[in-house]
Structures are given as structure tokens and as C-alpha cells.
Amino acid sequence: MPNVSRASIHHALDRAAKTITAAAGNDGRASRAEVTQKLKELTGVERQLVDTFYRFIDHRDAKPGAVVTKSDVAKALAEAKDKLVSAYDLDRNGLSPAERAKMGKVGQLAATLAETFRTPSHAARDAAKVLVSPKWAPNALPAVAVEALSPSARRSFEAMARRAVQSGDLLDPPIARRLTAGGEPFTVVAQFTHDSFNIELYNSNGRKVAGGDGWNTSADPISWR
């Protein structure tokens, strides 16, 4: 396993800090409830990192369980980069597996996320895993209103809806869901039958960036395009 650069791990922490800050309301103070709601948009290691990093920030406060301010996030981010990541890179050539093994949970999660290049296809896989495995769970990700979809995503959604009507009970109505992967927002448009599915992924600019289809089980491979 190759070393993971400090810069890439720092970037993963930056993303987690940005997500926590985004969860705050207009007052810039992120409560546990607001962060918990934000976590519903995330998956996998990224979700674990944001949750764990928020707990790290909260425990640094004199009154754990209170709200977390932007200043709290900034101070904790600087400390995490210095003491939880850089301090373990003794030879300054990136974090080796042995060095990573000595890190705390926040650093290890950030390193794991950093070593995964989050292409749109990776994000589509994340979405499929949440929605399909171990069984079909359409409400596993936050819903997106049809009118809020980009033109291209809406055209695809409406085409799927027409096919569902025409097929009778063979096709489920399509769904539109929100997913955040690698700190980037995506929209998921998917349609299922009793044993198969089709999934499409759109980026923040509304452009389709990945798609795939497969059987409605975790054991069967998905064909991506």
C-alpha cells in the first residue's frame, strides 16, 4: 500500500470541516441535530469522518454537547492537521501504513478517504450501495423535488415515469435523491423493478456524469457506463 500524502489527508479534513460548517444555520453555529441531518446526505467513510470529526470538535469545547461555531471548527481543523496527521509523518514522505496505524480515528478516516479518488463512478457506486444493499431502500438518501432537478435530470426522470406508467406493475416510479461524495454534491435518479435497477448520477452543474444498471442484489455486479 503506497504512502498517502499529508496534503491529501489535510484536504479530506478540509472537506469534513466545510461540511460541518455548511450544516450550521444562519447563525453559523452547528448543533448535533443539524450535523446529524447533514450526515444523511453522506455515505461510507466520508460520513464516518464528518461524524467523528464533529465529535472531536465538540469534545474540545469546555461544554461538550453545546453548539459548534465556525471558530471552533477552524481551531480544531488546525489542531487535527498538526497533531493528528503531520505529527505522524516523521520522515516527511507521506503517511505509510505503519504510520497510519498509530494515528487516531480522525486521522485514519481522513487518510482512508484521501487515498480513494472520488470520481463520479465512485459516487454512483456509493449511491447504489446505499439504495440497493442489502435490499432496495428508496428512502436511504434525502429526496430531491422533481422541480428542483436540472433540465437533463428532469427529462430522464420524466421518461422513467412514463415507462413506469406504460409497463403497469413491472417498473417502479423513478426516484430522485441527493448524495454527497468526496465533498461534492450529486443528484441520483434511479428506477427499479422487482429484481433490477437503473441508476444515473448528475453533478452540481446538472450534467450526467455516470450511470449503471444491474440486479437488485448486493451479490451481482453493476454494469457502469
Lowest mean pLDDT among 43-52, 58-67, 101-110: 58-67
Confidence at residue 170, expressed as pLDDT on a 0 to 100 scale: 85
Residue 117 has pLDDT above 60, yes or no: no
Percent of the chain with pLDDT over 90: 41
How far is it, in rounded angstroms, from Cα 189 to Cα 34?
25
How far is it, in rounded angstroms, from Cα 41 to Cα 214?
23
Q: Is 90 exposed, middle or buried (0-12, 13-18, 19+ CB in 10 A)?
A: exposed
Query: 189-214, pLDDT tens digit by residue?
Result: 999 887 788 889 898 888 888 887 87
Q: What residues have CB less than 8 Å from 35, skipping those under 6 apart?
A: 20, 23, 50, 51, 54, 68
How far is it, in rounded angstroms, from Cα 208 to Cα 127?
14
Residue 83 per-residue DSSP state: I
Radius of gyration for the alpha carbons in the chain, expressed in angstroms and rounded: 20
> How is residue 179 written as a grid cell?
448524495
Q: Please state whether the predicted TM-score (pTM) of the whole model is above 0.75.
A: no
Per-residue confidence at 187, pLDDT binned at 50, 70, 90?
very high
How far is it, in rounded angstroms, from Cα 59 to Cα 32?
12
How far is it, in rounded angstroms, from Cα 176 to Cα 146?
7
Average pLDDT value for residue range 168-179:
89
**C-alpha dihedral over 222, 45, 141, 37, to 10 degrees?**
180
Whose cell is 413506469? That residue is 164
Q: What is the mean pLDDT of the chain?
A: 84
Tell me: cis bond preceding 134? Omega within 30 of 0 counts: yes
Residue 62 has pLDDT above 70, yes or no: no
